[in-house]
Amino acid sequence: MALGILEPRAKKVPGTANVLDEEWKRDPTLKRDKTGNIILVPQPSEDPNDPLNWPLWQRDLILLLLCVVAAIATTASPLVAANSVVLAVVFKVKFQDAALLTAYHLCGVGVASWLFVPLARVWGKRHVFLFGALLMVASSAWGGSTADNLNYRSLTWARIVQGVALAPFESLVNDVVGDLYFVHERGFCVAFTNVCLFGAAFLTPVCGIYTELVTRLLIVRNGGQYEPEFRIALVIPTLVFSAIGLYGFGIASANVEKYGWVVIEVFLACVTISMVMGATASAQYLLDAHRDIAIETFTCLIIFKNLFSFVLAYYAYTWVLDRGFEKMFIIFGSIEIGICALSIPMYVFGKRNREFFYRHDILKLTRLR
């Protein structure tokens, strides 16, 4: 039982790796980083086309360019959502109909993710990213042209197509980190990709440094053996910021005259910070724990997130009017605390869970591999 993680019966468990083990250090066949202290996981092949053999600057540049495109693509969601009132006035529709422009957009992301994952496995990620970028440009031009004739129906379809264009970036960008980087390099990179997807750019160095420091500390305490469950430690600050942000935002929003808009914005910042930290924690864990099916796991996350957001956006406006900000966000905060608390059994039983899915390969059971 390593640091509270229950051991399975099987000796080989995907994700577990000896990074600083002394016995492994004496093996001359293992490849290490430039310092010679860290064993490279996974071990790169001899193929010069293997991304793990490319210079670090080249890998960083590839990720940076991809993240810039992803950041531009993801702005399509909040830009329209923030202008729902303006769109309702300009297009002469109800506020709820204007808000549904964001809901349908998220629905397009969730549904299209089912399509792009198998296409990425067949054609490769490059073609899918190029298609998504071109489709985003075309759909954005389409949406902008609706301002001439104020056609709400046409704008709705443009938003749906924008969601389809965004799908490959939301579902595949995090998996690219696993293709380009070793385990000990992924912390900051995953944090950076999630910041580009979800915002809060100022949090990138803090989130990445915290994750790497905690992970390395746990590796040392565990005798040099790395467990993906160490990434779950990032859920602790996620819980703190989300509870403070959601509870505080609900209470302050219900009493604007008393607290003012500055206090509300501070609590909203806490919610954003928790969102990035939570996304980073889950992405890092899935990338290291289930590398072979990382694309599928990310896709399931994206589909659930966007379809849930679609349903929520469909009914949230009415819910706010009926229950009020304070009660609604207190409920959200309580649900968030409950979800974060589930990380405790996940940390304890995570290794057994990995071993179970290794023995029962989902892709083989569904004849996809």
DSSP character string of 180-219: H--GGGHHHHHHHHHHHHH--GGGHHHHHHHHHHHHHHHH
pTM of the model: 0.77
pLDDT in tens, 318-332: 788 788 888 999 999
Cβ atoms within 10 Å of 214's Cβ, excluding its own: 17
pLDDT in tens, 241-285: 999 999 999 999 988 888 888 999 999 889 988 888 888 888 889
pLDDT at residue 264, rounded to an integer: 92
Say whether 293 sits in a helix, a strand or coil: helix
Contact 104, 87 (CB under 8 A): no
Take residue 107 and report the two structure tokens written for it.
């629905």
DSSP character string of 37-57: SSB-SSPP-S-TTSGGGS-HH
Q: Where are the domains of the chain?
A: 55-180, 182-289+324-369
Q: Could you tell me which residue, 122 or 265, shows the higher pLDDT?
A: 265
pLDDT at residue 160 greater than cutoff 90: yes
Residue 45: Cβ-neighbour burial (10 angstroms; 0-12, 13-18, 19+): exposed
pLDDT at residue 171, rounded to an integer: 83
DSSP character string of 305-361: HHHHHHHHHHHHHHHHHHH-HHHHHHHHHHHHHHHHHTHHHHHHHHHHHHHHHHHS-
Assign 201 a pLDDT band (cuts: 50, 70, 90).
very low
In the chain, the amino acid numbered 121 is R
pLDDT at residue 203, rounded to an integer: 56
In the chain, the amino acid numbered 336 is E
Q: Could you tell me which residue, 253 or 43, shows the higher pLDDT?
A: 253
- Residue 137's region, left for phi above 0, alpha for psi from -120 to 50, else beta, is alpha
Assign 301 a pLDDT band (cuts: 50, 70, 90).
confident
Contact 273, 241 (CB under 8 A): yes
Q: Mean pLDDT, to the nearest integer, of 289-293?
A: 84
End-to-end CA distance of the chain: 33
pLDDT at residue 200, rounded to an integer: 47
pLDDT at residue 117, rounded to an integer: 80
Place of tokens 């957001």: 309
